[in-house]
Amino acid sequence: MELTVKLQVFEGPLDLLLHLLEKNKVNIYDIPIVEITNQYMEYIAEMKRNDLNVMSEFLVMAATLIDIKSRMLLPKKESEEEEEEDPRAELVQQLLEYKMYKCMAYELRDRQMDAEQVFFKEPTIPPEVAEYEEPVDLAELVGDMNLAKLDQIFKSIMKKQVDKIDPVRSKFGKIEKEEVSLSDKMLYVEDFCKTHRNFSFRNLLEAQASKVEVIVTFLAILELMKVGKIFISQEHTFDDIKIESKMAA
């Protein structure tokens, strides 16, 4: 958050310049740059240098004033046909904008101070007015509407609701997710292998309760075969797969 530090009665270099112009009662459009620059530099020399950030702003303006002063002291070339731009023009524009915003700030401050002295009464509404409800003319509200038309509108709305229903998807049942983890199924197969040295792969799968359990059991068999805990064999193509457990007691 930006912090504005006031130096005596001035909030910045433009505030100081505006003060010097008002003090010397000079026209802002015709600044006596030499005199104003000298006064500005005298103020800079007396400033305390506690805050370098604020001090740097005044020094930048001092350099700007010295630059304008040097350009105005230079003799004009007689060969130049076009009118030379006033070196003070940009500074004058900045001072005018700053003065406008400063006046606006004073105006807002005065309005705030005036508003602090104003008190507003809370709105009060008599009970009979608050409870009043405008009467409803049912005949005018219904108009030419009758039960037959209301029934027709109701059936039309219901038909639109039926048309939105997908005849195929509406018959689908709810699919519930089965939570079967590979690690749990591997423990199940390992326990089975500890008590069965030789068993049928088909019989192991048929003992499972769902398709998901069959798939996860098949993956568990592959994992145990990969780590060498079981051995799988098949004598002929399409024959039942035999599993030999190396963990049986």
The domains found in the chain, sorted by start residue, are 13-73+87-115 (no CATH), 182-245 (1.10.10.580)
CA distance 16 to 13: 5
Q: Is 5 a residue whose pLDDT tops 50?
A: no
What digits encode the pLDDT tens for the residues 139-188? Answer: 666 666 676 777 787 788 788 777 777 776 666 666 666 677 888 888 88
pLDDT of residue 54: 62
CB-based contact 174:209 (threshold 8 Å): no
Residue 32 CA from chain centroid, whole number: 51
CA distance 205 to 225: 16
This model's pTM is above 0.85: no
What digits encode the pLDDT tens for the residues 56-92? Answer: 777 888 888 888 878 777 776 665 555 667 778 888 8
